[in-house]
Chain A
């Protein structure tokens, strides 16, 4: 069984530390939910894992089956088996979905002749209209269509581990169910390990977590079974958020020479 192993991960954005030491181990076929309020570092965690420019890792390690992911560029991480379903999938004008997936598979030395059929089959399974497949990547897609598209690409690329960054934001309940079911099925179909980063519990109605982690202020403050998500549903994050945490600290100490109109 492969493992995505995060140890003592600290990271900063624009000189400010956002992640203060994250420890997580996700095994193949497992679903881990990372839940937290706004500003807890959820998106930073997903971006850092995929190597997005602008985020600096200051300590700790991330390995996939023993491979040091932090030493790799973004595309190498993807080829090592990591996938990030983005919260806001980017529109890429003029680039077709099939070209993208063909280049992705070709880069990993995989069979590209299957792309067309795999896209068609997965799109049907996820309920992504065929007419949308000819559009440039994400261009003019609705929120729900974009998330179905992310899930469709995940299913075609068959990574070993997928990070879902707020997959449940900006989509209707039907799209959410379709995406969650497809990913749940992937955990048995190709033993996909999932790190589902989310604010709300509704994603977890269809995508059953094995472990739930509560992320607050850049730290995992508690981990437990799926029942923790149920508790969150009724109590919210109040139990983990102290008064001191309830308002975000200022980005930086006030600069007495700062332009007051900036």
Chain B
């Protein structure tokens, strides 16, 4: 794999960083399902050589699909649209620029945002080889920079769109909030119906008492493989509210590493997913408590229909110093079809006393008592199931950090349920 089409006149530090990454990667060795964190995944089917780097000629301008997402957001603070790995549009309101906020390609960031120090500052060498592949493959890494003390009360929107066939795309996003800063960021991963391989990496860095709402939506087309990681570092008294929505892709995976490194840090991690056809949706979560009085709340809720599969494996890790930890992990799955399959493996690893931890996981069909109750009021069976499934997701969606897009997500979920009624 070679770095491709790097933007013209990229700064020297970026070239050095990428060269180092290439050296580190060498000839990539892909993981196997023997590793617990890849168990149940179809990773053995991946052949990296079948994908080629995109070029700028693959498309310019904002694709229609991205415009549809943007239309739902009133008055964003900033918008970046990435198409086949290249930034095709970015804008930021002057109000926030004046206050030192930066949203855009990292290579164009002002010196005050210390861009040369940020790539890999949270993910380091990354949780797996795909992070290093991202380092080597990414074309336009993005930065959201909010200086200390600044509260950005309008949403920051990042749209990553793919409409070129047979490409490998490596979205990279770094969100850095200074002390006591606040922001809400939406990351939307969409595509036309193309075949592509995506390795996405998000690094979230929250300084003391920062507050970040991070909503990510994966609605890639049905022929895309996406292997994503979200790595966060949450300092003392800071709060991360992360909500993921996974609907698309043939194989869509997100690994979430939330590291609570300062006293009183909080990580709220939520996700909804809905598998159809033969797709596999795969989630690995790590709630890492490395400081006292830290709190993590994880709630992942999924539905699998048809022949689809979902995998959830999660680990709560409480380190020696993390006294007073509260850590909760809940994974609930509804199987709508007898051919669908949901795996759920919660885990705890606790090295100190004085912690409150719980984990719960369920896999089962639609609750018969709930359905009977709705039917007893005269609601048809298929409508009752629709209401129950939509309601099942509600708990997560009503807390989504960028509420403007929730109707778009809800209607995508409804489309999947309508498809059932028509079948």
Contact = CB atoms under 8 A, between A and B. Distances in A.
Interface stretch (B44-52, B54-62, B203-211, B370-378): B370-378
Interface residues of A, number: 30
Nearest to B379: A103
Contacts of B388: 92, 94-95
A74 B392 contact: no
A95 B381 contact: no
Contacts of B372: 50, 52-53, 74, 90
A100 interface: yes
Contacts of A175: none
Interface of B is mostly: helix
A107 B383 contact: yes
A106 to B, nearest CB: 9
B373 A157 contact: no
Contact of B379 (A53, A75, A84): A75
A38 interface: no
Nearest to B369: A90
Contacts of A153: 377
A78 B377 contact: yes
Given A73-B381, A99-B387, A93 B376 contact: no
Contact of A74 (B369, B375, B387): B375
Nearest to B390: A94
A108 interface: yes
A53 B380 CA distance: 15
A94 B392 contact: yes
B384 interface: yes
A97 B153 CA distance: 33
Given A53-B368, A90-B370, A103-B383, A73 B391 contact: no
Given A75-B381, A107-B379, A107-B380, A93 B394 contact: yes
Contacts of A89: 373
Nearest to A81: B378
Interface string B171-188: 000000000000000000
A118 to B, nearest CB: 14
Contacts of B374: 92, 95, 100, 103
A94 B375 contact: no
Give the interface centre of B379, B383, B394, B395 by most chain A CB atoms within 10 Å: B379
B393 interface: yes
A92 B377 contact: no
Contact of B373 (A83, A92, A105): A92
Nearest to B391: A94
10 contacts: A53-B368, A78-B377, A78-B378, A83-B376, A89-B373, A94-B395, A95-B388, A105-B378, A107-B380, A108-B378
Interface of B: 368-370, 372-381, 383-384, 387-388, 390-395
